[in-house]
Chains A and B, each alone.
Chain A
Amino acid sequence: MAPDRDRASGRGVPADPGGLAFLPMVDSLRRLGRLEEARRVALDGLGRHPYLADAHDAFARVLADQGDERQARDEWEFALRLDPTHDASLKGLGFLAYRRRDLAAAEQLLARALLRSPQDDGLATALRRLRAELRGAGHPVTPDRASSGAAASPASGPGHASGEGARTLFAALLGDGDRTALLLDRDGLVLAGAYVDGGGNEVADEVGAHLAGLADEAARALEHLGLGRWESLLVEAQHATVALSPATDGAVVMVAAARDTQVGLVRRLVGQARQRADAWLGAVA
């Protein structure tokens, strides 16, 4: 407790009114149970850093401590809009979901957080317990890529939906060229496919997280332009041609090919990958 007391009294933080010293101070005040003070410090910091996800997270924690779950959720959701990879906010929302006994939502949120912070042992333990609870209740659980590095099989899925099967779902389709395909869920998490860069690094999670948001943006544009549902998005970039297409249940199929690949071929590949993805999703449902 001593360090907390030092921080809370101002002795442990630098005198920097424009800086981020308020973040540990909020945390310390919370731990000491001085919630009104924590709230004031958090609000003051938020006023100076309205676009900082950590500031919204700090305020949300105080609100959650005070039992104002609705506003805490707003703050964590806002933090995620500022930074979709903000793991503390994912954990916060997961905590709220758990508290209202929405175990499936809690599991998804904590799994996303663990993906961002695979070294967080406390989080991994919480997720294991939560999954045990979920299995006890007969719910499916999210494939865990954070610990295995590859999509694991759903606990009760069919044989062909095994982790290796998920990774190689599009392999036969893509051929030998410099092409790759991924199946992403609505949050940008990889469901199937693999993506290894030139240096041998698995980059599927990273690429998927960046590109999946385009599906929402495409849908939004079409809604306001009155053009109906989107069928595919084909993008010609400096180093690659990328195609996206919507699959079952809000999932998105992505195909990326080297820039010298014919554009028509990429469009055709994404259509075929979508068919394969829909069939696979139907089988694992």
Chain B
Amino acid sequence: MTRAVAPWLDAPLTDFVRQARVGMAVALEPSGRVLAQHGFTRALDVMAVCSLVAAIHASASELGRQVGGRPFGPLHHGASGQQVFLAPAAAGSGTVLVLAVFDDRTSLGVVRHFFAAFARAVATVPDEDRATGPLTGDFERDLGRNLAVLFGRA
């Protein structure tokens, strides 16, 4: 099930996961702060994944600016068993990054299609709605509470 510390992401991420048939997904801020997750079972996994995703996104964005003046778009890595899809979506005046992990029960084309629907859904969320919730406070103070919510221990 989807667990979100940002309530405005709960429905869009749940829809994305179910319709695209991805196994795991995490939504985060570009800073690496986790907003919602589906399918991860350990807090440490999510924290590590978010750090890596934020770093990849920052690197790819900067690389895109250096070579073409614009940040790169979605990123896809395929392997024999599992694949990952990483893409940014505009949410009001901010950005949400989504990492999805999937296997051959779905395909990159289908994942991209439903990510576009996810992006449309979060694009219209007003900034005041996004600003509510436990993430607005101090990150360190909120981290434990957020992880508890994400793993159903709140």
A and B touch in the complex (CB under 8 A): yes
**How far apart sit A59 and B21, CA to CA, in the bound complex (Å)?**
21
For residue B129, give the distance in angstroms from its CB to the closest CB of chain A: 25
Q: Is A71 a contact of B152 with CB atoms below 8 Å?
A: yes
Interface residue tally on B, bucketed by range: 10 to 19
Q: Is A44 a contact of B42 with CB atoms below 8 Å?
A: yes
Q: Find the residue from A43, A47, A51, A81 having the highest chain B CB count within 10 A.
A: A51
Q: A71-B1, A74-B1, A224-B113 are in contact. Are A47 and B152 (CB under 8 A)?
A: no
Contact of A43 among B23, B24, B39, B42 (CB under 8 A): B42
A140 sits at the interface (CB 8 A): no
**How far apart sit A43 and B46, CA to CA, in the bound complex (Å)?**
14
Chain A interfacial residues counted at CB < 8 A:
13
**How far apart sit A171 and B8, CA to CA, in the bound complex (Å)?**
55
B45 sits at the interface (CB 8 A): yes
B41 sits at the interface (CB 8 A): yes
A10 sits at the interface (CB 8 A): no
**How far apart sit A46 and B105, CA to CA, in the bound complex (Å)?**
19
For residue B1, give the distance in angstroms from its CB to the closest CB of chain A: 4
Q: A74-B1, A224-B113 are in contact. Are A50 and B42 (CB under 8 A)?
A: no
**How far apart sit A71 and B45, CA to CA, in the bound complex (Å)?**
20
Chain A residues positioned under 8 Å from B40 (CB to CB) = 47
Q: A71-B1, A224-B113 are in contact. Are A47 and B103 (CB under 8 A)?
A: no
Chain A residues positioned under 8 Å from B45 (CB to CB) = 47
Main secondary structure of the interface of B (DSSP, over half): loop
Q: Which of B31-45 contact A (CB under 8 A)?
A: 39-42, 45
Chain B residues positioned under 8 Å from A74 (CB to CB) = 1
Q: Is B39 a contact of A50 with CB atoms below 8 Å?
A: yes
Chain B residues positioned under 8 Å from A47 (CB to CB) = 40-42, 45
Chain B residues positioned under 8 Å from A50 (CB to CB) = 23-24, 39, 41
Chain A residues positioned under 8 Å from B23 (CB to CB) = 50-51
Q: Is B103 a contact of A43 with CB atoms below 8 Å?
A: no
Chain B residues positioned under 8 Å from A43 (CB to CB) = 41-42
**How far apart sit A46 and B45, CA to CA, in the bound complex (Å)?**
12
- Closest A residue to B21 by CB, please name it: A81
Q: Is A46 a contact of B41 with CB atoms below 8 Å?
A: yes
- Closest B residue to A49 by CB, please name it: B41
0/1 per residue, B140-154, Cβ < 8 Å to A? 000000000000100
**How far apart sit A179 and B61, CA to CA, in the bound complex (Å)?**
58
Q: Which of B1-26 contact A (CB under 8 A)?
A: 1, 21, 23-24
Chain A residues positioned under 8 Å from B103 (CB to CB) = 51
**How far apart sit A244 and B124, CA to CA, in the bound complex (Å)?**
41
For residue A46, give the distance in angstroms from its CB to the closest CB of chain B: 5
0/1 per residue, B62-96, Cβ < 8 Å to A? 00000000000000000000000000000000000
**How far apart sit A59 and B151, CA to CA, in the bound complex (Å)?**
13
Chain B residues positioned under 8 Å from A59 (CB to CB) = 41
Chain B residues positioned under 8 Å from A81 (CB to CB) = 21, 105
Q: Find the residue from B21, B39, B41, B42 having the highest chain A CB count within 10 A.
A: B41
Q: Which of A28-60 contact B (CB under 8 A)?
A: 43-44, 46-47, 50-51, 59
The residues of B with any CB-CB pair to A shorter than 8 Å are: 1, 21, 23-24, 39-42, 45, 103, 105, 113, 152
Residue pairs across A and B with Cβ atoms less than 8 A apart, 11 shown, are A43-B41, A43-B42, A47-B41, A47-B42, A50-B23, A51-B23, A59-B41, A70-B1, A71-B152, A74-B1, A81-B105
The residues of A with any CB-CB pair to B shorter than 8 Å are: 43-44, 46-47, 50-51, 59, 68, 70-71, 74, 81, 224
List 18 other contacts, CB 8 Å, given A44-B41, A47-B42, A81-B21.
A43-B42, A44-B42, A46-B41, A47-B40, A47-B41, A47-B45, A50-B23, A50-B24, A50-B39, A50-B41, A51-B23, A51-B103, A59-B41, A68-B152, A70-B1, A71-B1, A71-B152, A74-B1
The 3 closest A-B pairs by CB, nearest first: A74-B1, A47-B41, A47-B42
